[in-house]
A and B are shown apart, each in its own frame.
Chain A
């Protein structure tokens, strides 16, 4: 036990002495948490709206005004013809073109029916879908009002059947994306820092030559590994703490669930990440190699964690792969506990998998750390 203490002491000294690294470990991730959480939103607003009004009547202008008044659309241009409009869309200057045909109002009065052209830049498919919903809504409302005004006694009144929906958004009534992203990005930063620090640590001593010096001492494998990992485990928990304070104070994210449960789960989760880092460290000869491997896993873990895009939407085979992704469990648990107040029994499946993962990874790490070759 005392021997482990000496290693821990030494690691802490080395970490805190490295003035260049300290801000990278502590400050930069938290600044990122603040900045990136603001950026990570799927909300569609400020849609660049443009139109071609070939009718040019008060009726057509009223329709354009409706778009202008909507909080989702920013009116950026009126084009004289399709040619200019298309060119602007190619340039990326506009997202939506509304094309009001000539005799728009007349046709509606005469034939009781008229068409309207809408062009949407659909490269971002999901945004295009949402934009389409907004456009349809505005046009339908406009249509409803117009109908009331234009309705003649001769037009048969026939009330359609109507199903009303009332949507309530639980756990996040205002659909605040920060509530969703902050716990996730926090998870990510904690993982990123601890994985890379632990992944590079032992291989660094290997490269410098101090590892050999350690290997000729009678120190036991487990003593060395625990001593090495403990400081990073602590750093992970400190990062979590600062991150939670930021979440609460700056983003005002509700922390519904138990803090104790969050820390308990995180402390087990960190063992998984440290085990992976150590395992990578043991299998590589240079920091460069260790870093590439850590980086590869990190990007895969990150983009397949359900942090940015839902796991449920992935193809089945990809969902199987995510079963091996520790970040996925951490993201789920943090969101469940923080936002919904889930209890230990709710997160039990994730916990058990994480625990199993921790045991396996650290087992592999200890096994693959060779004092002798």
Chain B
């Protein structure tokens, strides 16, 4: 069992001064799983994720990602994960192809690999028309699909998606989730934060964070049973309606806007 866990987190904590953004969370994610990481704005999801992808130093606790320790082996973690942030993070002033070449290049892909991946990606997403257009000129939905594909260029074991579908239309969201499923089918683990509760239904398992703590973690089906709710939205509202849920003071995660 143990070897199948690609993410293993024990009492992971992050404090900013007096404010505890992430409060001793523990969970594990299995290989090939689509793991939903839910929470209200400011609940600490993004901060927790940043610790897992090695750009934020935990205050205390343990975390092993893709078999590597977040304290000691961040470079190895980075080699084995992909990341797509909620801020759209490709270069607007580069073309689609140039973005692919650049990110492929800094992940150390060989020239012919980059070429191969570029062709494949452009064909898969049917981007032939716009491959040489500046990314900045494309609609948001396209950009996000491209960003996701770029995060997969180096065949990572785990992909972290931070609110990937924010601001796009339902059809594009559906297509995006189809991409996620395809990726998961190849054995890649998906770690996704979202606040669309219908999306939570698509996940194999979801955790719900409230005020820095994980209040619930199970399959969507079991959570609905447990909280006696018809959909995930109700589950979330029941959990989140605890009186403590007011926006935390201070600038906990500096990501939600």
The residues of A with any CB-CB pair to B shorter than 8 Å are 2-3, 5-7, 9-10, 13-14, 17-18, 208-210, 212-220, 223, 371-373
Contact = CB atoms under 8 A, between A and B. Distances in A.
A7 to B, nearest CB: 7
A3 B53 CA distance: 21
20 contacts: A5-B105, A6-B101, A6-B102, A9-B105, A10-B91, A13-B94, A17-B93, A208-B92, A212-B55, A212-B87, A213-B85, A214-B106, A217-B106, A218-B78, A218-B79, A218-B107, A219-B106, A372-B54, A372-B56, A373-B56
Interface in B140-166: 160
Interface of B: 53-57, 74-76, 78-79, 81, 83, 85, 87-94, 98, 101-103, 105-108, 134, 160
Of listed A10, A18, A210, A218, residue having the most chain B CB within 10 A: A218
A142 B94 CA distance: 74
A337 to B, nearest CB: 39
A216 B83 contact: yes
Top 10 closest pairs, chain A to chain B, by CB:
A6-B105, A209-B87, A213-B89, A218-B78, A216-B83, A218-B79, A10-B102, A215-B55, A218-B75, A216-B53
Contact of A217 (B78, B88, B101): B78
Contacts of A209: 85, 87-89
Nearest to A216: B83
A372 B57 contact: yes
Given A209-B89, A372-B56, A372-B57, A216 B106 contact: no
Contacts of B79: 218
Decide if the interface of chain A is mainly helix, strand, loop or mixed: helix
Contact of A13 (B57, B75, B90, B98): B98
A212 B93 contact: no
Nearest to B80: A218
A13 B91 CA distance: 11
A190 B57 CA distance: 39
Given A3-B106, A10-B91, A210-B91, 7 more contacts: A7-B106, A9-B102, A13-B93, A208-B89, A212-B55, A212-B89, A216-B53
A3 B93 CA distance: 20
Contacts of B98: 10, 13
Nearest to B104: A6
Given A2-B105, A6-B102, A372-B74, A216 B54 contact: yes
Given A5-B105, A217-B106, A218-B107, A210 B78 contact: no
Contacts of A18: 93
Contacts of A10: 91, 94, 98, 102
